[in-house]
Amino acid sequence: MTAQEPTSQDTNNASPLAPEWLAVPGDLNALQAPMWAKSVDRNDDGGLAVGGLSVAVLKEQFGTPLFVMDEADFRARARAFKDSFDAAFADICGGVDVYYAGKSFLCTAVVKWVEEEGLRLDTASGGELAVAARAGIPGERVALHGNNKSDAEINRALDMNLGRIVVDSLAELERVGAIAQTRGDQAKVMLRLTPGVHAHTHEFIATAHEDQKFGLSMAEDTTGQAGLSAAEEAVAAAAGHPGIELLGLHCHIGSQIFEPDGFALAAEKLLRFLAAMQEKYSIVMPELDLGGGYGIAYTPVDTPRPAAEIAEAMAAVVRSTCAELGIDSPRVSIEPGRAIVGSTTFTLYEVGTLKTVRVDAPGASTASDGGNNVTYPRRYVSVDGGMSDNARPVLYDADYSAVLASRTSSAAPQLSRVVGKHCESGDIVVRDVYLPEDVAAGDLLAVPGTGAYCWALSSNYNYLARPGVVAVRDGSARLIVRGETEEDLLNRDMGA
């Protein structure tokens, strides 16, 4: 049974405790595209398999919790972004530079895949730069982000001859320029602007509105220099600085975005600003980065756009705006991360304790009960991981789905909440999902869409060791990140 389009939904048996968007699946054993990697299916005995390899084998070899990644699917999604954007922008600027956003998930194997598929790499810290260097990707194919880069990080970027440093503030611009000038270098700089385009997303992952830590404001009179925005003041300062080569402009409007409208509006605003700055300061800025933030499917109701559709919508705006302004298009770049790695990976857990509670459903009362609220069952399914391997539900109220992975079941659906083993009531992996009534201790569950920002945000809370990451391809699996051991944790304890 391969991943398929969403099956028919049964609304008659839906629990009043379930959110409105969550319907009862017509088939609890189905794997609904596009939440899963292309090679994930069910084998002859009903268990989940990826790349032809059974999850039972993965459990036996590597244990649980375990991040399971489809390497071929990662490569295919990376190529799809590169090929789609190159085709859409071929007549505008000769193609697009695609920077994989390493903050979503990074290790040396992934850096090598990225380079082999023709992509570049976006980093956000000295540690991520260290991974890039260890993997051997040329520095000119690497970018460095961050709102508070240290002197050491700036020096490392210059040592590696990075292709771009994305500057986030006027103070940082001056610091990057001063360090580069002292070294006798020129830092290749892009200016991150906040275009005021507010993506429809969670407040904590929306990054283009004014009231947040990222970027240079395009609004006037924000720095005390009359008539100039912070963005224009930065352009003026960078254009005349001996330690800076000003490449162009950058923006990032948010994350988990499904509609292309926000990207198009941001592109138009930045192009108009770029044209005005080039004319006013007699400079040329040859590059424009439109960021990332493309959404993926975490649940059956999420509807991500194909890379080609996003590319065509963005290209149409860049093409028409440049024609209207009478300028040549700068070289465009983008920064997908989640959209490449997110759906390539699922987390494999083993079920432990189960319990069912009765919960009030406000408004679900009847005349026969005297107007009191009716209670309904919610089952708690505990697994051997939790917020230490997926912090997104507690950070962002993120929704996920889950399936019974070790077998199929013909049992009736039961509204369930998949929770971890940490000493926190908010330790929730999947807030609401219908699972078979006969799920029991020892079963395996799989949570799809965990490739992005799960391992990257993982922790050792309650001294749990962080899980390993396994890459599966052509029927074989290899560890690309070793899971931690208790000895690893104790090695850092100087009292031991």
CA distance 196 to 209: 5
Q: Is the peptide bond before 34 cis (omega within 30 degrees of 0)?
A: yes
Residue 287 φ/ψ, nearest 5 degrees = -135, 150
CA distance 198 to 301: 22
- Tokens 């009862």, residue located: 24
- Which residue, 397, 436, 396, is CA-closest to 416? 436
- Scanning 102-223, the segments in alpha helix (DSSP H) are 108-116, 126-135, 151-159, 170-183
Choose, from 107, 251, 423, 454, the residue flagged as catalytic: 423
Cβ–Cβ under 8 Å, residues 122 and 250: no
- Which residue, 128, 112, 104, 74, is CA-closest to 456? 104
Active site residue 322: no
Cβ–Cβ under 8 Å, residues 304 and 296: yes
- Tokens 């990376």, residue located: 78
Task: Record the tokens describing residue 54, joined without a space.
Answer: 């059974």
- Tokens 């929770």, residue located: 419
CA distance 110 to 102: 9
Task: Record the tokens describing residue 228, joined without a space.
Answer: 């100039």
**How many other β-carbons are positioned within 10 Å of the β-carbon of residue 183?**
14
Q: What angle do CA 296, 302, 303 make, to 5 degrees?
A: 80
Question: What is the DSSP annotation of 205-262?
Answer: G--SSSSSSSSEE-SBSSSSSTT-BHHHHHHHHHHT-TTEEEEEEE----SSB--SHH
- Which residue, 24, 61, 109, is CA-closest to 344? 109
Sign of CA dihedral 125, 130, 136, 140: positive
Sign of CA dihedral 156, 161, 166, 170: positive
Q: Where on the phi/psi map is residue 376: left (φ > 0), alpha (ψ -120 to 50), or beta?
A: beta
Ranges of beta strands (E only) in 370-410 are 373-383, 403-404
Which residues are marked as active site? 423
